[in-house]
Amino acid sequence: MVAMQRIFPALIALFFLVACERAATLSPLGANDVIVAFGDSLTFGTGASTDTAYPAVLATLTGRTVINAGVPGDTTTTALQRLPEVLATHQPRLVLLCLGGNDMLRRLPQTETVANLRALVHTIRASGAEVVLIGVPEPKLFGSAPDFYAQLAHEMKLPLEQDVFNDVLRDNSLKSDPIHANAAGYRVVAGELATFLREAGAL
Predicted pLDDT of residue 37: 98
Q: What pTM value is reported for the model?
A: 0.88
Residue 29 φ then ψ, to 5°? -85, 135
Residue 52, CA distances (Å) to 41, 49, 70, 173, 180 in order: 13, 5, 14, 16, 13
Domain-by-domain residue ranges, the chain?
2-199
* Confidence check: pLDDT of 153 > 70: yes
Looking at residues 37-48, what average pLDDT do you find?
97
What is the pLDDT of the chain when averaged over all its residues? Answer: 90
**How many percent of the chain have pLDDT more than 90?**
84
- Tell me the Ramachandran region of residue 49: left when phi exceeds 0, alpha when psi lies from -120 to 50, beta otherwise: beta
d(CA 38, CA 202) in angstroms, rounded, equals: 17
Contact between 148 and 113 (Cβ < 8 Å): yes
For the segment 114-145, what is each residue's pLDDT rounded down to a tens digit? 999 999 999 999 999 999 999 999 987 667 89
**Nearest-angstrom CA–CA distance, 190 and 62:** 10
What is the CATH architecture assignment of 2-199? 3-Layer(aba) Sandwich (3.40)
**Confidence class for position 67, pLDDT limits 50, 70, 90:** very high
CA torsion sign, 121 to 123 to 125 to 129? negative
Q: What is the number of other CB atoms lying within 10 angstroms of the CB of residue 148?
A: 16
Amino acid 71 reads: V
Average pLDDT of the residues in 59-71: 98
